[in-house]
Amino acid sequence: MAQSISSWRRKVHAECKDMSLRELSSVYFFRDPIRPIKNNHGFFYSPADGIILDCKIISSIDQPILTKYKNATLDELSYSQIDDGEYWVVTIFLTFYDPHIIRCPMNGIINRLDLPAYSVDDKTMLEIEKSILSKEFTEVKQELIGNIAFNQRVLFTVKPAQKTDKFYLLLTADYDIDTIVSFFSIKHSEEKQNTRIAAIRYGSMVTCVIPKKWGLVPVQEVNTHVEAGIDPLFKFL
């Protein structure tokens, strides 16, 4: 259920306060909670558990999406694999305390493309993690987001049957390679809304890129914690 960071932090603290670091890192981190498979074509659901860092419209893939941090464009980050156009761009940060299971926000035909590293100097997300459970923590420091953009990335392209355009999910892992595991093994795999499509085993961020012309209305605010397959990010007009 979508909630403020402070409410989510209290919930996490209650669940994890008696766990050892080993239990947290080897069991809790890799959990895969059972969830109902919602099928509602009126919504675009969150593909990941995590904190919404950013939600905005861009007029072109040449427009920077990390302007305050590293000035990277969607075209650069995707190696020109995203069609040009106007998009809603939503960035979700998966914390150490979140399930790292990725779900499909809509029914569609999905393809995976592994992207080369944008920078050879991969950077860890630990600086963000350090402050997550502090009482003063109310939002992710945006100047740290730029570090995330340069780690291992996979681009999922999804073509819904009822749409003429595609949407994209750009998955970013931490400093290790080969940590993004797909739950399908064929090209052009047909996936149902909110079914499991991947896991990111270490560190992570998911960037959702959805055509603006679909007539979407955001239903969550920045710095809200959301759950994959449970909370919608947008509703269709």
pLDDT at 83 exceeding the cut of 90: yes
Read off the pLDDT band of 67 (50, 70, 90): very low
pTM: 0.88
Sheet containing strand 224-226, edge to edge, reads 3-4, 224-226, 50-58, 87-93, 205-211, 167-172, 153-159, 108-115, 189-191
Read off the pLDDT band of 68 (50, 70, 90): very low
Q: Which residue has the tokens 């679909």?
A: 214
Which tens digit of pLDDT belongs to each residue from 112-136? 999 876 654 445 555 666 666 566 6
Residues 215-222, mean pLDDT to the nearest whole number: 95
Residue-level pLDDT at 158: 97
Q: Are 57 and 87 in contact (CB under 8 A)?
A: yes
Read off the pLDDT band of 166 (50, 70, 90): very high
CA atoms within 13 A on the CB side of 98: 29
